[in-house]
Chains A and B, each alone.
Chain A
Amino acid sequence: MSYVKGLKCRECSATYPIEPLAICEECFGPLEVDYDYESISKDLTRELIQSRPPTLWRYRELLPVDTPTVGLNTGFTPLVRADRLANILGVAELYIKNDSVCHPTLSFKDRVVAVALTKAREFGFEVVGCASTGNLANSVAANAAAAGLPAYILIPDSLEQAKIVGTQIYGINVIAIKGNYDDVNRVCSEIAGRFRWGIVNVNLRPFYAEGSKTVGFEIAEQLGWRAPGSVVVPMAGGALINKIYKGFKELEQLGLIPEVQTRMFGAQATGCNPISAAVKDGVDDIRPVKPSTIAKSIAIGNPADGYFAAKLIRRTGGWAEDVSDEEIVDAMKLLAETQGIFTETAGGTTLAVTRKLIEQGRIPRDEPIVVAITGNGLKTQEALTIEPPISIEPRLEEFEKLISKRRAA
């Protein structure tokens, strides 16, 4: 059963019934799911959560669906204690929330899609779709295929090859739009107005976005039921950072963790930094930009939740920064070489920003820090220039020669 009361506008608080609606008719503000927390607090305990399988559905009372039917094995990714990386960055306690191994398509988008497609079925949609910078495309395609739902997926035509292959393999409809993600999003919104389809990040957005809270739930549970001192999150549309924090606050409200004093930090690429620019300039309004960065999965020039992200960052005493493409690649290598985790360009962005904010003294060195790694490096290999490996004849002497040369060097 669901504990959802309805939908509520984040801007003007107008209320709506549980419908595939995302935008307030009064002020165009985003609608958000409104829960009956009093009933949830009577039913949900740490013990109940811990008695369930390690998937995001262990927190199902705090998700806006009746019965989970899609993405049943998604979530509960490792929270990796990263001591080797912590030594290099000069901090006491560092963790990687590793959604680069999320099931089934290796990014945190599997979480939002599990919720959105479950909801799409509850609403009776016969066709689903999305606008995507890649990871969402992969996830909607895989989960729709497994659920037997026809899907239409719109992507920018400049996407990385692995993200195109990783969408088309599932045999659904992929359409490349000549333009950037903001163009794709605009067309997708117009499509949603014309066809009666369940577009996960358009008319199913309030439900979809709730899936991201599970990153916050898991971090808190995996830390032994407490929220960390600092969390660093990549920002594209700006929803994830808001939802991770909302996850902490809901657990606090239900008495499942102590008071939340977490500072939220946001990461962007300098080639697409509308939110970090607003934070650094101290302004409320997000000025859209035309993206130009290798971090394509977070290249959204017109971030819908940017205003809320900037506000949250200020309110929690956090900060935002952006980094160059070169710094992004360096950080991808650093994470791989120190912790054995191969993340995509967005993850490189997040780690590079973490490093920068620690050096600036914005992130305290002596409190637990969690870095949200949201995607897998195998999908963005074009960003890397890797030298081909040394090649030798298949003879032991050749190998010995090579090793003695290396030792001498």
Chain B
Amino acid sequence: MPTVIRIPTPLRKLTSDVETVELDGSTVGELIDNLEERFPGVKARLCDENGNLRRFINIYVNGEDVRFLDNLATAVKDGAEVSIIPAIAGG
């Protein structure tokens, strides 16, 4: 079963305006690579030159921030939901 990835507004120009994408991949890093294959240019927006997640991006697997898990190595099980979300302000 593929993973559902929610695409944030700032990336949708690169994803032909789609809100969600279904992809295969066993880790968050793999999903990003596969997303890049489908929509070239996406990875550079998400990761810096060294391949690390950019400072202002949060990725959640089933609602949990990957920084509480294994970052890009976080395992993604079948049917998981992955959200890519820009850091947002307090309130």
Contacts and interface: CB of A to CB of B under 8 A. Distances in A.
Given A186-B60, A193-B9, A194-B19, A26 B90 contact: no
B88 A304 contact: yes
Contacts of A298: 90
A376 B58 CA distance: 32
A341 to B, nearest CB: 23
Nearest to B53: A28
Contacts of A22: 86, 88-89
Contacts of A287: 67
Which of A30, A130, A193 has the largest count of B CB atoms less than 10 A from its CB?
A193
A239 B90 contact: yes
B83 A186 contact: yes
Interface string A186-207: 1011101110000011100100
Contacts of A109: 91
Contact of A132 (B63, B67, B91): B91
Contact of B87 (A192, A209, A304): A304
B71 to A, nearest CB: 11
A25 B89 contact: no
Contacts, number: 107
A24 B10 contact: yes
Nearest to A185: B88
A209 B89 contact: yes
A136 to B, nearest CB: 4
Contacts of A24: 10
Interface string A27-38: 111100000000
A225 B47 CA distance: 45
A190 B83 contact: yes
B57 interface: yes
Interface string A279-316: 00000010110100000001010111101000000000
A284 B68 CA distance: 18
Contacts of A205: 88-89
B54 interface: yes
B18 to A, nearest CB: 11
Nearest to B90: A237
Contact of A307 (B10, B55, B58, B60): B55
A11 interface: yes
16 contacts: A22-B88, A28-B10, A28-B56, A30-B89, A109-B91, A130-B91, A190-B85, A192-B9, A194-B19, A208-B89, A237-B88, A237-B91, A238-B90, A285-B55, A304-B89, A305-B89
Interface of A: 11, 22-30, 109, 130-133, 135-137, 179, 181-183, 185-186, 188-190, 192-194, 200-202, 205, 208-209, 236-240, 285, 287-288, 290, 298, 300, 302-305, 307
